[in-house]
Structure 1
Amino acid sequence: MSVIVEQLTKRFTTGGTPAVSDVSFHAPSAAITTLLGPSGAGKSTLLRLIAGLELPDSGSVRIEGVDCTHLPVQKRGIGVVFQSYALFKHMTVRQNIAFGLETRKQPRGEIEARVDEMLKLVQLEELGKRYPGQLSGGQRQRVAFARALAIRPKLLLLDEPFGALDSRVRIELREWLQSLHEQTGVTTLLVTHDQEEALEISQHVVVLSDGRVAQAGPPEEIYDRPATPFVASFVGGTSVLHGSVRSGRAEVGTLVVAAPQSAREGEAVQAFVRPHDIKIAKPAHGSNELTTGRVERLKSVGGYVKVLLKLPSGETVTVEVPRAEFDDLGVVEGDHVHADVRMAKVFLGDFAI
């Protein structure tokens, strides 16, 4: 069951800037498609348009080949999970899960069986009689998933479902969501600003910027082949360096990277370099070799060391070095080092992102 969005536009004020502007994409059947972007990119508005909680000014939404653009929410066959859980505090876990089935007037025996099935699916069999206030955040979110799935939706919509949870629980629930998706196979749209989350659990990613689609494709394509400077800067924690083309190569400060084939001599370029794609080395003792930059700051972060390298141009670049490798380097703050770029994404021109 796929979702096709075509030229969707939504304004909240007459003549105002669109929250969503001419958005088109295809969410594959039985896959997790993530709507990824910074705050204000239009992600949640787009999800609400697909859900039927908002109506577009123009464009269409097709679910399983059916034009649902103007159908009410209850006729779209969707389940929705919000960041805030939206559970009924006065109802037990079982009653929350049963709510959607009861509003659909299903027989009591079928409701009880389905609730039992959902509790087992979300691994909360022993907690059915508790109230939401007696559960942890992760448990409440699982109940929200169970309630959304109980009605057997054709489409599951997730609006920042892990946003209110601490980092450890977020990671646990990501893994749980992947397992849940493997069991159910329901087509899922996930909204997040967390690129790691998007790249880890999605089969398809739609990157949004200022209400428009910046790029859509498999996670590997988004990460390895960003189509625009915005995508290159947003995905992967890149440093942005400015320079120009010299002898067929892009020279950005004291770093040299491959230039696009269409580049002309002297043309301005911007290089987007990820922290793990730079290798640094300390010159041999007493060497007069020219160095790339100066180590401004060192910060140990778990299994790696973050190195802030300042280039002669005044620009800085962040380098991540595995801890064991860093210990062998013998680098301290203030040292001058060599830096080689393994990989960079270079765009022609000098522009604001």
Structure 2
Amino acid sequence: MSIIVEQLTRRFSPGGSPAVADVSFHAPKGAITSLLGPSGAGKSTLLRLIAGLEVPDVGRVLIDGVDCTSLPVQQRNVGVVFQSYALFRHMTVRENIAFGLNVRKQPREEVEARVDEMLRLVQLEALGGRHPGQLSGGQRQRVAFARALAIRPRVLLLDEPFGALDTRVREELREWLHALHESTGLTTLLVTHDQQEALEISQHVVVMSDGRVAQSGSPEDIYDRPASPFVASFIGGANILRGHVQEGRVAVGSLALAVPPAAREGEAVHAFVRPHDVKLARMVVGGRGPSPVLGTVERLKSVGGFVKVLLRLPSGDEVTVQVPRTEFDELGVTEGDAVHADVRTATVFVGDYAI
């Protein structure tokens, strides 16, 4: 079941700024599509519009080619999982999973069989008699998934389902969700602000900013070919360097980069350089070194298997570089040392932008 969104707009106050503005995209059948963006980008509002929990001012929602815009949530046959679990505390796990089926007045024998099936699917067979307060956060979220899937939804809508969990449990549930999707093939929409989460488990990504779609495409397209300065700065935590076109090259501080198409002499440019796309080499006293670009190590910070290096260029620009720990140990530099910096890859946009 594919999801097609056409020109959706939603305002919560007359004349106010729209929470969602003229949003259009296509979530492919059988894929996980992530709605990715910073807080306030309109992701959750968009999901609620698709679910039928909000009514758009303008636009349409089509599920499997059927216009669902005017249908109430009960008739859209979508499964929804929220960050807060939204489980009934006074009900057991079995009763929570059975809730949607009972509302639909399914025969008791069918309900019991479906609940058993869902408990096996989410690997909680032994916990059916417990109440939510007796479960861990990860277990509660799996119960929420089971309840959403029990009604055999056409699509699954997930509103930051791992946001309230610690890092280790988040990673475990990401893997679990991937396996779940592999087994069900259910078209899924995932709201998240976590780039790694979106790029790791999605087949399609819709990047949002200020209630609008900034770019949509495969994770590879979003990461390798950002369509705008916002996407380039948001995805991958890029350094932003300002410069101009000079003598057929992009001059950004001490760096000289390739000129983008249609750039004219003297035009302002922004170069986006990701921390892992800078190669550092120790400056050899009395030697030329591998690169004409020099920098001074201002600060070092060890983060797990990487070392973050804050590098100051002669222009005064600061660049954060991420170096694998083994490579950093071989480099053998400390704060205050001069190093050569080689930019492997940069994305350059022409124009003077407010990022």
Describe how 1:1-353 pairs up with structure 2 within 5 A.
Answer: 1-287=1-287, 291-353=293-355
Distance 1:62 1:340 in 2: 48
Whether contact under 8 Å (2:122, 2:146) holds in the other structure is: yes
What is the TM-score of this pair, normalised by structure 2? 0.98
Aligned to 1:220, the other structure's residue is in SS state helix
Q: For residues 296 and 288 of structure 2, what CA distance do their matches in structure 1 show?
A: 15
Tell me if structure 1 keeps the 8 A contact 2:255–2:293.
Answer: no
Q: TM-score, normalised by structure 1?
A: 0.98
Q: Secondary structure at the match of 1:350?
A: coil
Post-superposition CA distance 1:281-328 (Å, at most 9, x none): 111124477652111100111111110111222221110111111111
SS in 2 for 1:90: coil
Distance 1:232 1:71 in 2: 38
Q: In the aligned structure 2, how far is the partner of 1:102 from the partner of 1:288?
A: 76
Moved over 6 A (4+): none
Give the Cα–Cα distance (whole angstroms) in 2 for the partners of residues 260 and 75 of structure 1. Answer: 50
CA contact (8 A) 1:256 1:341 kept: no
Please list the CA deviations of residues 177-224 of structure 1 after superposition, one character each: whole Å capped at 9, or x if unmatched: 000001111110000011110000101000000000000001100000
Letter in 2 for 1:86: A
Q: Give the partner amino acid of 2:231.
A: V
Ranges in structure 2 where 5+ consecutive residues have no aligned partner: none
Of stretches 144-153 and 289-298 in structure 1, the one that deviates more from structure 2 is 289-298
Moved more, 308-317 or 32-41: 308-317
User: Contact 2:293/2:342 (CA < 8 Å) preserved in 1?
Assistant: no
Q: CA deviation at 1:266?
A: 2.0
In 1: Cα distance, 2:107 partner to 2:231 partner = 50
Q: Is the Cα–Cα contact under 8 Å of residues 311 and 321 in structure 2 kept in the other structure?
A: yes
In the aligned structure 2, how far is the partner of 1:133 from the partner of 1:257? Answer: 57
Q: Secondary structure at the match of 1:328?
A: helix
1:106-165 residue CA offsets vs partner (Å, 9 max, x unmatched): 111111110010000001111111110000000000000000000000010000000000
The one-letter code matched in structure 2 to 1:318 is T
Q: Give, in whole Å, the separation in 2 of the partners of 1:140 and 1:262.
A: 54
Counterpart-to-counterpart distance in 1, 2:293 and 2:20 = 47
SS at match of 2:233: helix
Equivalent residue of 2:320, what SS?
A: strand
- Please give the secondary structure, in 2, of the residue aligned with 1:242: strand
Structure 1 stretch 249-258 or stretch 166-175: which is displaced more? 249-258
- Residue by residue, what CA displacement relative to the aligned partner does 1:8-45 show, whole Å, maximum 9, x if unpaired? 00000000000000000000011100100000000000
The amino acid across from 2:29 in the alignment is S
CA contact (8 A) 2:34 2:205 kept: yes
Aligned length: 353
Deviation at 1:264, TM superposition (A): 1.6
| 1:229-277, Cα deviation, whole Å (9 max, x unpaired) | 0000000110000111223221211122222022222221100000110
Partners of 1:308 and 1:128 lie apart in 2 by 52
Q: Which amino acid aligns with 1:19?
A: A
Counterpart CA distance in 2 for 1:166 and 1:335 is 38
Query: Which amino acid in 1 is paired with 2:96?
Result: N
In structure 2, distance between residues paired with 1:130 and 1:256: 63
Q: Residue 243 of structure 1 aligns to which amino acid in structure 2? A: G
Q: What amino acid sits opposite 1:114 in the alignment?
A: R
RMSD: 1.0
Matches of 2:201 and 2:288 in 1, distance apart? 49
Decide which moves more: 279-288 or 313-322. Answer: 279-288
- Given that 1:257 and 1:343 are in contact with CA atoms closer than 8 Å, whether structure 2 keeps it comes out as no
AA aligned to 1:59 is G
